Amino acid sequence: MAGLLAALATRIQAGFDTVAPGADPVLRPSGQAGADFQANGALPLAKRTGQAPAEIAAKVVAAADLEGVATAEVHPKGFINLTVEPAFLVAQLAAAAADPRLGVDVVDDPWTIVVDYSAPNVAKELHAGHVRTTIVGDALCRLAGFAGHHVIRENHIGDWGTPFGMLIEHLIDMGEEVGARELSVGDLDGFYRQARAAFDASDELKDRARRRVVLLQSGDPETLRLWRILVDESMRYFSEVYRRLGVLLTPEDVVGESFYNDMLPGVVNELESLGLLVDSEGARCVFPPGFTGRDGEPLPLIVQKSDGGYGYATTDLAAIRDRFGRLGADRALYVVGAPQRQHFSMCFAVGREAGWIPEGAEAVHVAIGNMLGPDGKIFRSRAGEAVKLIELVDEAVARASAAVLAKNPSLGDAESTAVAQAVGVGALKYADLSTDRAREYVFDWDRMLAFEGNTAPYLQYAVVRIRSIFRRGGIDPSSFGAGRVPVSVDEPAERALAQRLLAFGSAIASALETWSPHKLCTYLFELAGEFTSFFENCPVLRAPSQEVRDSRLELCAHTAAVLAQGLELLGIDAPERM
């Protein structure tokens, strides 16, 4: 909780303490006319104590510290409706503006949070399917870090397994240098496709590939050297995509599947000694309770195949053990597509059974819905191929460049290039982030690049408009927005804007509660809307007095600061001009 809400909660808490010490007041912005806040804590307390909710609420109001509170009414159902004194609101606002964190509290109990996101596969294209996991995961890292958690990013790249036999042999056949170049410039799919075609066409190559996998598994130095080329050149390309997208991931964050390879026998042994392993048709499996197939048969999680090999699930079990064990994670987030839901549910269930996920800690599949094309099917290029992420970035920037030029032809070349980059990348990211992450979302260039609606360009433009108020008035913006200029909230639009500014911390907290960046997007969009009605109703530069003008300029600067900070937490730049 933060800002006004936190201050108010402390006061109402005094009332709750007399009924039941430490009871949560469950304070929320009311979202209804006639009340600023609602304290709903009497309801759960009524259940616990058997008293009537309204009775408890009345006791709370009688005993609470109501300084700064204008009205406190008990609803017959037991809610307490609160309005606050303008002076209280304004004091909170000044404190938030003066705070470099804009009134957003650091969490009381910081967690260690491991965030597994992006996770492309070596020698395979980063395609549209990785767009959302990369962007949502990155925003969650930024949000959690800002809230004060200790964030560990992990890029669980697919860099191990049987396809590497084929890929290494293909690299040898085409020549190391040529192959490396092809990968580093991003023709990953081309490389993979050729390897596959050659493999399918030749029994001799199939044989070599099989032998190569054995060499790889046994740690043959020359094979590992060739394998490294594949990994490093692919990573070089992935890093370039991350840089263009403004994503935090670096090569240091890579903890790929290969990292767990040596741990896999240990994982299987531990499951064995815990009595969790069952032989099923030659494979070694765990049957976590509660998972059944269509026919009602228990579903196995295969940890060792009949040929002795390990699979994707075994690696994920090792990762669970490593994240909660070695890294001491309180939360491990898996920002991965929704189709992998069952895989993760089963792995987490086994992780708990094995005791690898300690009491109080939690593994969370932050499921990401599919990205759909305009036809409602999985997003693909016109030729029906998976779309490369880098091509989406290029196109977003090209389209933004045209839009920016049309809007403001007076920007110089260098500036308009930078603005187009910010707007294009921002639009691409925001379109993704503003949709509930679990839902499928339809990719639509025109909608995401529109200057109206819940889009990045709209919010970026809102910041630019506010900044231009200062420019037009010849006013030094640096003297505003730091909480030093007195603010009045007499006009309803001023009051509504002030309220919303103070809800920044709760918006961040609620986004983190369900790992849903779209909640912050909704907040920023509403804040921008609140600002628009303030600006339409309350003249700033032509305010009736110097005092009122300054008060409004202070609100303008505070709004710009919150919008820019909010966008930054989503990984989106706010340009000076557009």
Interaction site with ligand ARG (CB under 6 A):
116, 119-121, 156, 158, 316, 319, 334, 336
Taking the least distance from each CB to ligand ARG, the nearer of 132 and 558 is 132
Closest distance to ligand ARG from the beta carbon of 321 (Å): 13
CA 348 to chain centre: 21
Give the residue from 134, 235, 138, 252 showing the smallest Cα distance to 183: 235
Taking the least distance from each CB to ligand ARG, the nearer of 103 and 137 is 137
Taking the least distance from each CB to ligand ARG, the nearer of 260 and 461 is 260
Give me 8's structure tokens. 């108010």
Closest distance to ligand ARG from the beta carbon of 152 (Å): 14
DSSP string across 171-187 = HHHH-HHHHHHHHHTT-
Whole-number Å distance between alpha carbons of 363 and 348: 7
DSSP string across 115-136 = EE----BTTS--BHHHHHHHHH
539 HSE (CA, 13 A, CB side): 7
540 HSE (CA, 13 A, CB side): 28
CA 542 to chain centre: 41
Closest distance to ligand ARG from the beta carbon of 154 (Å): 8
Residue number with the smallest Cβ distance to ligand ARG = 119
Taking the least distance from each CB to ligand ARG, the nearer of 30 and 239 is 239
Give the residue from 386, 312, 435 showing the smallest Cα distance to 126: 386
Taking the least distance from each CB to ligand ARG, the nearer of 39 and 389 is 389
CA dihedral over 497, 499, 505, 506, signed as positive or negative: negative
Give the residue from 307, 286, 316 showing the smallest Cα distance to 298: 286
Taking the least distance from each CB to ligand ARG, the nearer of 143 and 320 is 320
Closest distance to ligand ARG from the beta carbon of 120 (Å): 6
Give me 92's structure tokens. 């909170």
Whole-number Å distance between alpha carbons of 363 and 356: 11
Closest distance to ligand ARG from the beta carbon of 128 (Å): 12
Whole-number Å distance between alpha carbons of 514 and 508: 11
Whole-number Å distance between alpha carbons of 96 and 457: 26
Closest distance to ligand ARG from the beta carbon of 114 (Å): 10
Question: Which residues have C-beta within 8 Å of that of residue 176, sequence separation ≥ 6?
Answer: 226, 229
Taking the least distance from each CB to ligand ARG, the nearer of 255 and 276 is 255
Amino acid at 218: S
Backbone angles phi, psi at 149, to 5 degrees: -80, 160
Whole-number Å distance between alpha carbons of 336 and 329: 18
Closest distance to ligand ARG from the beta carbon of 521 (Å): 24
Closest distance to ligand ARG from the beta carbon of 335 (Å): 8
Evaluate whether 121 touches 157 at the Cβ level (below 8 Å): yes
The secondary structure of residue 576, as a DSSP letter, is: S
Taking the least distance from each CB to ligand ARG, the nearer of 121 and 261 is 121
Taking the least distance from each CB to ligand ARG, the nearer of 116 and 554 is 116
Taking the least distance from each CB to ligand ARG, the nearer of 36 and 116 is 116
Closest distance to ligand ARG from the beta carbon of 378 (Å): 14
Closest distance to ligand ARG from the beta carbon of 311 (Å): 11
Give me 40's structure tokens. 């709903």
Taking the least distance from each CB to ligand ARG, the nearer of 64 and 183 is 183
Closest distance to ligand ARG from the beta carbon of 302 (Å): 15
Closest distance to ligand ARG from the beta carbon of 402 (Å): 33
Taking the least distance from each CB to ligand ARG, the nearer of 238 and 334 is 334
Closest distance to ligand ARG from the beta carbon of 243 (Å): 20
Angle at CA of residue 319, ends 315 and 323, nearest 5°: 175
Give me 378's structure tokens. 């999985």
Closest distance to ligand ARG from the beta carbon of 191 (Å): 17
CA 190 to chain centre: 31
Q: Which residue has 């394998």 as its token pair?
A: 227
Closest distance to ligand ARG from the beta carbon of 545 (Å): 59
96, 101, 104, 110: CA torsion to nearest 10: -150
Give the residue from 476, 483, 489, 456 showing the smallest Cα distance to 563: 456
Taking the least distance from each CB to ligand ARG, the nearer of 257 and 554 is 257
Angle at CA of residue 510, ends 60 and 356, nearest 5°: 105
Rounded to 10°, the helix 312-324/264-273 angle is 80
Taking the least distance from each CB to ligand ARG, the nearer of 126 and 509 is 126
Neighbours of 222 (CB within 10 A): 9
Evaluate whether 23 touches 17 at the Cβ level (below 8 Å): yes
Question: Which residues have C-beta within 8 Å of that of residue 175, sequence separation ≥ 6?
Answer: none
Taking the least distance from each CB to ligand ARG, the nearer of 11 and 156 is 156
